[in-house]
Chains A and B, each alone.
Chain A
């Protein structure tokens, strides 16, 4: 603050000195009657300059403070994210590890007949841990992995995803796929077909996982300006409002989802894939009514990180 006053008063002082010099006639001046006006002008100019400089400094220090506050906020958010992630990781590791330790104790103490069961359980939990590690690795890989950049026929891809989804469910589940035909079909998206398949598959897999046999699941795609929009909608239980902001987070699992198998990395992968394709994700949900997840992909992205 001191600096602001110094900068503000210095030009005023200088202007007063100049004005005094001008009016006293110390300086040789050809136009005598203009002395007083000139000195006044100098005072005003100095005051204006001082005001301007002071204002600029005040604004800049305010902007600085705002930036500092924003940085601090971002750091706090990041720290909170990190804490949440570590908490979830702890949780995801704790359960299979506990099961493995119990299984091993059983293996050592149980009669031979019960040993096979313990062995199966330990194997299952070890596989679960392997999958968790593999998925975490995928997430980090996705940021640096070279992407293929070929025209992907989205209609073909969506048909395949839906076919796989139908195979996946034990009982027949009607999945309605709506694709535009007129005035023209979906244009191709430039991208990595395998990753796009993975992303849309995860969305449909979630829709099928979190709904019952009688629920409806729809996959829709349409062109919207420079994007292709893919929506996966279901008439399931919906996501609680409080959970909504976190669904894209790594290892996040909603309160109501713990009975459903999964490790909470599916949507995080979808988002990472969307970002690598220059696209976006969004979710709308109403508890008791259902959920719509949207994947928006640019038709011809200028991917900053691609060759």
Chain B
């Protein structure tokens, strides 16, 4: 990348944008800010940012509405939503919104930078991201995100809702090394005591159901001491 990627930062709290903008600039980004939903939509057109960081809770037009309008206009600029702790649990609505990633407030700014880099690495400019696909497939594996159901070949998989959420997050972030902490934050929305074990238990459930051998995985690979990575080639289904 020869040019500094431009980030549009949208938050109605000036204390946050004022501190976050210089932090992101030091991390190698060019930063544009907006304090309200309507201004944000205008800035996206004017500044054509590479990525938008969007606060959900804003007066008048909230972050979800901004994102909905953006996607309705066929604009696929990647978006990271800043949500409230716990909301991840209700992210079945994520699909309608088409956010590329989430971060719970209050967050560690270093984590935001890590998210920004990961999303930018994944994004093909102008191309519709996996995050907005209704169905995801990887070989014989098919996930219907709207109905929260999954099939292997033509056999429906019996999965707990949490396991479906986990599979969805991994499949929409293929080839990305996802830490257990990140999975907890994104899928569970909570930090749990000994949370890494909680993640491992569900990964084991997923692997059993997918008949995925951890020593020779087709789908989920363990990166020892780091996290998990979805290694299969994921495609957006119809």
Contacts and interface: CB of A to CB of B under 8 A. Distances in A.
Chain A partners chain B: yes
Given A146-B90, A148-B160, A150-B160, A133 B194 contact: no
Interface string A97-137: 00000000000000000000000000000000010011001
A130 B160 CA distance: 30
Contacts of A29: none
A141 B161 contact: no
Given A134-B190, A138-B190, A205-B193, A146 B89 contact: yes
> Which of B86, B89, B192, B197 has its CB near the most chain A CB atoms (within 10 A)?
B86
A138 B86 contact: yes
Contacts of A145: 86, 89-90
Interface stretch (A52-60, A83-91, A195-203, A210-218): A195-203
A20 to B, nearest CB: 76
B69 interface: no
B106 A133 contact: yes
B159 to A, nearest CB: 10
Contacts of A205: 193
> Which of B90, B106, B162, B194 has its CB near the most chain A CB atoms (within 10 A)?
B194
Contacts of A133: 85, 106
Nearest to B202: A194
B62 interface: no
Nearest to A164: B194
B85 A137 contact: yes
B198 interface: yes
B228 interface: no
B84 interface: yes
B188 interface: yes
A133 to B, nearest CB: 7
Contacts of A37: none
Contacts of A167: 194
Contacts of A146: 89-90, 161
Nearest to A139: B86
B203 to A, nearest CB: 13
Given A134-B191, A137-B85, A141-B190, 6 more contacts: A137-B86, A145-B86, A145-B90, A150-B160, A164-B197, A167-B194
Nearest first, the 5 closest Cβ-Cβ pairs linking A and B are: A141-B86, A164-B194, A137-B85, A130-B106, A134-B85
